[in-house]
Amino acid sequence: NRDYEKSLDAILNKLVDNKYVSKRILSKDSSNKYNIYSYDFKPINYEKTIVLISGIHGNEYTPFFGVARFLELLCKEDVNHEELNYIKNKVRLIFVPSVNPWGFENDSRNNYNDVDLNRNSDYLWEEYNSLKSKKGQIYYKGESPFSEIEMKSIKKLVEDVYEDNLVGLIDLHNIISVDAERIVYYPRFVDNYLGRFIDTLKKFNSNENRTIFGSSISPVFSNYVCERYKIPALCLEWRENLHGRGRDKNDMSKYVEFLGNFIIEFAKIESNTEAYANTQPFNKFLIWNKSDEDGYRVLKSNNYITMENVSYSIPLKRNYIVNLNGNIKIKVKKSCTLSILPCLYQVCSKEQSYKKCNENLWFSHDIHLNEGEYVVPITATVNGFHTNYNEIDNLKRVGNLEFLLRFKTNVVSSVYIENFKINLTFIPSDKGIATEVLDLNNNKSLFPKDVKR
């Protein structure tokens, strides 16, 4: 049935009581013929909000009816399910059943203006330049980001509810062109709750039901929301007729199970993706290559000299164990002794400052080298503390983590640095002593020293 209003009457409109469930018009669509509606399932004392959208592609019908069936189940008085009861009483759900009602009525992927609405957002807009994104093609992205009234409407919806503790958005689709049965797309290189969503998807993986957990760099709406608002957002896709025919009760029951498990997982989220990402480990890989024939010349000196124009600085958004491991490629033109000090420190850190790094020399090397080329390994570690600000007063709070390389040699024009490759790993830790430096010769702790044990 492609009658838009009658399809709404079949389930969703029957749920509207203007108490728990309300309905409103977001806007007309681009044909100026059909209304775009939202349905608001709003408990009295809710704690968080989730937005569900479907029908961005008008010819993908299963989510329209599947979400309606899930919400119908939620509205029953005898919901005998702990997690669904939590959602019913503590989670506000906002559902836009058809972003593209003209496409719904006309069995069309694109809208009245022949724009693929799920390529019309401001996420990697300029980078999306495939031939299929051009006018007249299947993935035509439109004249500009959010040029289409349909996308402006759901963009404004998200803007309006963001401050109402919006914890996630799910964009629902049918699989048309990909050889799989269930797909979850997430934005590549954007923080997200990937682990829990992978685990949810794995519940449905089998020989008959192949799943894909894929990263996306297309200007789809869920990618835009995830990047712009720092909340988890996914695009869920489902192949029709897996368990029945024509959206019959068997097929729809399985779809509601699939959809419902993701809604339940979203309902467990307590913080935005940025806060969550700060609890995750990460890497920074530093590369430097010489810009002339010889490279950087190490100066003869009795004191360490910092390598010019080579440094790295990063604020720490929580406490981390920071480990440095890498290699330095050097060319030796005369036999000499080379001293290397990888200087990993934190600004204004009493025990791990630049001064302490140069006094302690825990990670330094003194190497006697003959003429030739060498690759020298280096290592260092720091118990990194949360970076704070120092602008307001004269207090010296802990600042950024800093990295420098320092060298010295005992022979003039003897050593040249050709390149280095260094990996910094950041491991979140709430342990009081997350990094300890031990002197095994004297059986004592070098860092930290002044600690009650």
CA distance linking residue 422 with residue 288, whole number of Å: 9
Strand residues in 64-191 grouped as ranges (E): 91-96, 166-174, 182-187
Please, are residues 306 and 208 in contact by the beta-carbon 8 Å criterion?
A: no
What are the φ/ψ torsions at residue 41 (nearest 5 degrees)? Answer: -100, 100
Say whether 237 is catalytic: yes
Q: How far is CA 76 from CA 47, 79, 97, 126, 356, in A?
A: 21, 6, 20, 46, 66
Which one is catalytic: 105, 181, 237, 265?
A: 237
Nearest Cα to 15, choosing from 72, 64, 54, 67?
Answer: 72
Beta strand segments in 267-371, E: 282-289, 296-297, 305-314, 320-332, 336-346, 365-369
CA atoms of 206 and 187, how far apart (whole Å) = 25
Closest CA relative to residue 265, chosen from 234, 289, 240, 304: 234
Strands (E), 143-261: 166-174, 182-187, 211-216, 233-238
Which is it for strands 91-96 and 48-54: parallel, antiparallel or unpaired?
parallel
Show which residues are catalytic: 237
